[in-house]
Structure 1
Amino acid sequence: MQKERLISLDVFRGFTILLMTIVNNPGSWSHIYPPLEHADWNGCTPTDLVFPFFIFIMGTAIPFAMPSKLLDYAVFNKILVRSLRIFCLGLFLNFFSRIEVLSLEGIPLLIARLIITFAVAYALLGNFTLKIKSYLVFLLLAILLFLAYSGIPAYEDVRIPGVLQRIGIVYFFSSLLYLKTNLKTQLVIASIILLVYWALMTLIPVPGFGPANLEKGTNLAAWIDNLVLNGHLWASSKTWDPEGILSTLPAIASGILGMYIGQILNKPIEKLEIVKKTAIAGIILLILGLIWGIVFPINKSLWSSSYVLYTAGIASLCLTLLYYIIDVADYKRWTKLFLVWGVNPMIVFFFSGIIPRALSAIKIENPNGTSEPINLQKFIYDFNIVPLFSDPLNASLFYAVGYAVFWSLILWGFYKYKLFFKV
């Protein structure tokens, strides 16, 4: 039996998903306010907090979702299937724009892609028995991986890693650690992971590049990505991936630190004592991250050990503040907007990525009179939003906020009619 939901955790998740939707959907990628952009390499902007926050929150939720620390075959299978369903959701996102259906083109092809997308979403988000879920997820995973490595031109360079893929992997290992180890062991494992990753990245020479380094494309993580996933990496880099193989290792530590805070929140002690413990933990993690950042820079793309501690510290303090306001002071009237986002995260994660891809696939006549058509997303932005603003930064932000409002209305309807989609 699951424990009662922690409203402050749902609100924190909702805020994180809402921010993710805004930063992922500007009107123009050429006009973005600096706080809504990722750091170019080293450093951390508010946008760089979104992904580690979500992993941290996922870890925090594990003790609430698994009140009984029993790991048998049925529980293991449930964790494995859920992890693979999350992984497949992310992998399918990378396939969406590559789907070819016979000789269809234009709108008919887009409609076919959307039909397939809804079928996949139903298979991965539908409420089936565990046995049927297992069959569906393994079948879908086999199909996607076969297409990726089949040599078919449309799929030969499709990306394998991704945000949801990393979340699925971290969930799998974090859940098993929670069920099989105690709190002290979990912290020891997290520490070992971060120290080993630091040593690997700063001590081992990189084949073909020379001494260990932490630069773009020439570090050990990049070399492993290119060796194992050559041709299936992030399109913007092609030779390395920000959600690559080696950098997923410290992401597991982010999940473990979230579990640590979750177990404090579950302690049968006074709520003010919980606030004190989580606040102290957050401050310590934040300071350790800043200190470690002197020699191992805070870096999202590398998911550096200092980045893990720094972001976990900020996440702990944010959750502590929300816990005090909502669960201790009982001030909840303002939370509904974030709750509607927080209780349906996966449906937003998936379809908020599908919609921009679909809009970009629809070509219409360019109002400028040029022979080259324009996609629907660009038409909406360039000819309906940009003219309203003198500053392109404000126009781009308005589009992103408008997209978030659009999703808020959808999620409000889901919440009202108690429609909750879970992986």
Structure 2
Amino acid sequence: MTKDRLLSLDIFRGFTILLMTIVNNPGSWSAIYPPLEHAEWNGCTPTDLVFPFFIFIMGTAIPFAMPEKTWNASVFQKIVVRSIRIFCLGLFLNFFSKIALFGLEGIALMVLRLGITFLVAYALLGNFSLKVKSGLAFGLLALMLFLAFSGIEAYREVRIPGVLQRIAIVYFFAALLYLKREYQKQILTACVLLLGYWAIMTLIPVPGVGPANLDKGSNLAAWLDNTLLNGHLWDVVKTWDPEGILSTLPAIASGIIGMLIGQLFQLPISKIELVKKIAIYGLGLLLLGVFWDIFFPINKSLWTSSYAVYTAGIASLCLIVLYYIIDVKRVDKWCQVFLFWGVNPMIVFFFSGIIPRVLSGIQIQNPNLPTETLSIQSYLYDFIISPCFENPMNASLAYALSYATFWCMILWILFKKKLIFKV
């Protein structure tokens, strides 16, 4: 095993990031094709595969990034610092729209926010020494947490959990487990997390509510989120969070499963034997998830144990199909565009979240109603994209694809210039 990149893994990551960009940026949230929406509660749509796929891929990449399995203070510090940097990137996305100073409004306020954004991005994505990275990461984390809990009105309800925050936590525990425990104990840890979460969610009564349940907003995970992070949760519901505290436990198991699959690539077996082995494991995980769904419904918001193994099974099958096509059969001419996305995921994750916030935050005059304003994002959709389509769902999808094309051009330029930004 060497540190050579596994092309199929990069392609799989690139496809996942591209799909994330499309589903997160429709022209209108009220006009979306069903496969591009999350399941209402129980169930799993293609969109519900994006997040667990990325966590699975991150876990799979760990053995490639640390093939020597060396454990010392420096390695531990690198894991901690990388985790905090990823966490800070996600937390800053929640802070972006809250930033205010000296009563600034409109363009001036947006310029301020963008200036701070680029400073934060440089601090967290810049290629500094480990000592400088540590100082910047810990300093930014401390500052944002202080602001969140300081009682300052602007930050009183800033959300603490998030996608990148969960990825950071999963990476931290999965990387430590990889370095400190052998394969069998890694499997045992994943099983304990999945079975333990199942027991916790289905057996422990919910304080102030009653018996254990898996209903929206009244389950034990929601109670814990609201108890520990009251006021700092998902602003759609405010009383629980889909990336909350308790549901991060099975998400860690998702990362561990990816890591277990990644270690199979180290086995001294032929590529065809590897394909067969991972295909069997993937199918087994998928079927286990389908069976477990009977007792513990597949649910992304709760990240149920059935959801974790079901999505890990699909991810394993997707990866091994790509591996067979790309790395075994060497049919890889078609996948260049996904490679652009796959080698620079954090840039896309961060700035593809910032740009919509900027476009929706700048107001311009409404061409049809001179006395009213609308955001640049609304203008682009309502006056440029939407008039080209009779079906609003097609218009909404066209906007998302246009945004993805915009990012594709940026990533192509970065790829050609060999600019890869790592956390």
Three-state SS of the structure 1 residue aligned to 2:191 is helix
8 Å contact 1:2–1:66 — kept in the other structure? Answer: no
Displacement, 1:73? 0.6
The alpha carbon displacement at 1:2 in A equals 5.8
Q: Deviations over 1:40-74 (max 9, x none)?
A: 00000000000000000000000000011111110
Secondary structure of residue in 1 paired with 2:232: coil
For 1:348 and 1:373, locate their aligned partners in 2 and report how far apart those are by CA, in whole Å. Answer: 29
Match of 1:112 in 2: 112
Aligned-pair CA distance for 1:366? 0.8
Shift of 1:268: 2.4
1:68 is matched with which residue?
A: 68
CA–CA separation in structure 1 for the residues paired with 2:250 and 2:353: 26
Shift in Å at residue 169 of structure 1?
Answer: 0.2
Which residue does the alignment assign to 2:316?
Answer: 316
What is the 5 A alignment of 1:183-332? 183-332=183-332
Please give the residue correspondences for 1:294-373 in structure 2 after superposition, counting only pairs within 5 Å: 294-373=294-373
Deviating 4+ runs (over 2 angstroms): none
Which residue type is aligned with residue 366 of structure 1? N
Question: 1:176 corresponds to which letter in structure 2?
Answer: L
Q: What SS does structure 2 have at the residue aligned with 1:334? A: helix
CA distance in 1, matches of 2:314, 2:5: 22
> In structure 2, what is the equivalent of residue 142 of structure 1?
142
Per-residue CA deviations over 1:60-105 (Å, capped at 9, x if unaligned) read: 0000000111111100000000000000000000000110122221
Partner in structure 2 of residue 91 of structure 1: 91
User: Which ranges of structure 1 fall in alignment gaps of 5 or more residues?
Assistant: none
Mapped partners of 1:11, 1:278: distance in 2 = 18
Helix, strand or coil: the match of 1:338? helix
Paired letter, 1:135: G
| AA in 2 matched with 1:339 | L
User: In 2, distance between residues paired with 1:268 and 1:27?
Assistant: 49
| Separation in 2, partners of 1:183, 1:31 | 46
| TM-score normalised by the chain length of structure 1 | 0.99
CA distance in 2, matches of 1:156, 1:250: 29
Asked whether 1:173 is paired with 2:144, we answer: no
What amino acid sits opposite 1:144 in the alignment? M
What letter corresponds to residue 196 of structure 2 in structure 1? V
Give the aligned partner of residue 418 of structure 2. 418
Query: Using the alignment, how far apart are the partners of 2:371 and 2:255 within structure 1?
Result: 51
Q: TM-score, normalised by structure 2?
A: 0.99
SS at 2:97 equivalent: helix
Q: Give the structure 2 partner of residue 58 of structure 1.
A: 58
Task: Note if contact 1:234-1:240 (Cα within 8 Å) is conserved in structure 2.
Answer: yes
Whether 2:67 is the aligned partner of 1:100: answer no
Deviation at 1:269, TM superposition (A): 1.5
* Distance (whole Å) between structure 2 residues aligned to residue 417 and residue 370 of structure 1: 44
Deviation at 1:370, TM superposition (A): 5.0
Tell me how far apart the structure 2 counterparts of residues 224 and 103 of structure 1 sit (CA, whole Å): 36
The more displaced of 263-272 and 304-313 is 263-272
Post-superposition shift, 1:267?
1.7
CA RMSD of aligned residues (A): 0.8
Residue 192 of structure 1 aligns with an amino acid whose one-letter code is V
Query: Which amino acid letter does the alignment assign opposite residue 196 of structure 1?
Result: G
> How big is each residue's C-alpha offset from its partner over 1:258-315, in whole Å with a ceiling of 9 and x where there is no partner?
0011001222221001101100000000000000010000000000000000000000
| Alpha-carbon contact 1:52-1:311 (below 8 Å) kept | yes
Fraction of identical pairs, as percent: 70
Deviations 1:128-167 (A, max 9, x none): 0000000000000011001101111110000000000000
- How far apart are the structure 2 equivalents of 1:333 and 1:4? 19
State the SS of the aligned residue for 1:374.
Answer: strand
Supply the AA of the counterpart residue of 1:310. Y
Alignment partners' CA distance in 2, 1:124 and 1:186: 30
User: 2:347, 2:186 → 1: CA distance?
Assistant: 30
In the aligned structure 2, how far is the partner of 1:12 from the partner of 1:365?
A: 42
Per-residue deviation at 1:369? Answer: 1.4
One-letter amino acid matched to 2:332: K
* Alignment size in residue pairs: 423
Output the amino acid matched with 2:145.
L
What's the CA shift for 1:329? 0.4
Shift of 1:202: 0.2
Distance in 2 separating the partners of 1:381 and 1:90: 27
